[in-house]
Structure 1
């Protein structure tokens, strides 16, 4: 798998990231083990989790697998903090550093490679929040730091603050939703990231699963949209405009003799500024289909057509 630098940092990651949000919940430990082994065998290195995924179970499962399946030193481990178990945002220095310590304990390691602020917290002064990132790097608990779902002005402000004084930890990444069905980051966040030298890590690069084409004729009984937990998450992408984009993706896939998933993922993977889309799979078989896209590169004419049909 191709490796890429994360923004203007020295950190190198695989151009696909393995998401672990369902580990310990929908994805059983043995399936997670098969996923991690397959991902590493394909050359994948970047694994993303968070302290709130499964109330910490995702980190616990990953921690066990780092001891039993793939050695920790072969992977780039990323986690996040800022959301309390009750859903409240808390980017205070007190909460963030305590949360990082708890994550390291669950993972069973002494540091992560990338530690990210999961959300922007308007109730906490940004300089206090960012000071926690500085402390985390200075203490060796993380090597690099990033943010998630920041608006363009929030990212620009945070990145500029960190560059303004020697010794502060630079922001190297922004994790944000990005797909053919969700291109809003191109208005402000992507230009801010480019200016600041921050790498983009798209989450939900398959449009919450809709770009795979599974919802073209309805809602499958075994899909996330059929569950109480995820129905509202998927619903915004089941409208007419989304349908037109999915049909275009399907047509392109048929012409290239690949899956719609491969077309949609290749499109976002190779967008300007994108380093590594983060993909999640419930089963090893699903992950195998995702990994097969490594060999797919879209022709310019197809990329241009998809750009036009999905233009914001």
Structure 2
């Protein structure tokens, strides 16, 4: 699998990443082990997790496989902190919360450091400078090698990245992680231009449109699918609308013409977008991951990319449109 630089850093990551959001909840230890083995055998290195995935169980499952199944040094482990779903605040990015959360992640993972530590989402109640100082401390203490953001807007990313570059001793941001697919191109408005300008690599999660772009929902909701699950149905439903159906039909048409699958087409489109360092896919089963990894063989022809760009084009009006058109 191709390895790419993560932003303007020396860290290299596989252009497909293994997401673990379902580990410990929908994906048990045996399935998780099968996924990790298949992923590493295919040349994958980046494994993305978070301290709140299955209340920490995802990190713990990953730790059980380190060294026994995969040597620690072969993986680029990325985790996140700041989400506090059981607390009085939805997100807490204070030093007092972030640094203990990192220590707890390291204990669950059974490792001395993580390769990439990310702030899970923006916290409006904590001064940004305090949050960023916690990232500095994580790196200078050796607990994290690189740091980044997740689920931050364009101005938030630009603020943070510029602040980190403004004085010696601060640690530059390496990455920003957001949802990106043919069904969700909102980050192209401000986040992606900011990331490209500031040398921050993009980690694209949900590149299959929460499973909708596989085409599985074209003729209904299959039994056992995410949309058939009580806790995951609200996650999928926003993309089961008329616009989503038009895009899925276009992806399916492209797949037929290329002799591939809708999954492969949708994933290849995201993976090769400018600024994308890696596309994160969270498979529930080893069989689903095998289908994801098969996309590594596909590169979309230019004319197919243009057609998919057109059918999924987001509406960007003032002040984002080209002023020459006004």
* TM-score normalized with structure 2 length: 0.95
Query: Map of 1:1-312 to 2, 5 A cutoff?
Result: 1-86=1-86, 88-312=90-314
Deviation at 1:309, TM superposition (A): 0.2
Q: Take 2:113 and 2:6, find their aligned partners in 1: how far apart are those partners?
A: 18
Structure 1 spans left out of the alignment, 5+ residues: none
Q: Take 1:267 and 1:227, find their aligned partners in 2: how far apart are those partners?
A: 28
Deviation at 1:79, TM superposition (A): 0.3
2:177 match: secondary structure: strand
1:171 match: secondary structure: coil
Deviation at 1:189, TM superposition (A): 0.4
Structure 2 spans left out of the alignment, 5+ residues: 315-326
Deviation at 1:85, TM superposition (A): 4.1
Q: Take 1:285 and 1:227, find their aligned partners in 2: how far apart are those partners?
A: 19
Deviation at 1:284, TM superposition (A): 0.6
Q: Take 2:48 and 2:151, find their aligned partners in 1: how far apart are those partners?
A: 15
Q: Contact 2:85/2:91 (CA < 8 Å) preserved in 1?
A: no
Deviations 1:147-205 (A, max 9, x none): 00110000000000000011111111000000000001000000010111000101100
Deviation at 1:67, TM superposition (A): 2.9
Q: Take 2:47 and 2:91, find their aligned partners in 1: how far apart are those partners?
A: 24
Q: Contact 1:8/1:198 (CA < 8 Å) preserved in 2?
A: yes
1:157 match: secondary structure: helix
Deviation at 1:208, TM superposition (A): 0.6
Deviation at 1:267, TM superposition (A): 0.2
Q: Take 1:69 and 1:204, find their aligned partners in 2: how far apart are those partners?
A: 26
Deviation at 1:24, TM superposition (A): 1.0
2:210 match: secondary structure: coil
Q: Take 1:242 and 1:236, find their aligned partners in 2: how far apart are those partners?
A: 9
Q: Take 2:192 and 2:157, find their aligned partners in 1: how far apart are those partners?
A: 10
1:282 match: secondary structure: coil
Count of matched residue positions in the alignment of Structure 1 and Structure 2:
312
2:66 match: secondary structure: helix
Deviations 1:202-227 (A, max 9, x none): 11000010000000001111111011
Q: Contact 1:55/1:85 (CA < 8 Å) preserved in 2?
A: no
Q: Take 1:250 and 1:85, find their aligned partners in 2: how far apart are those partners?
A: 38
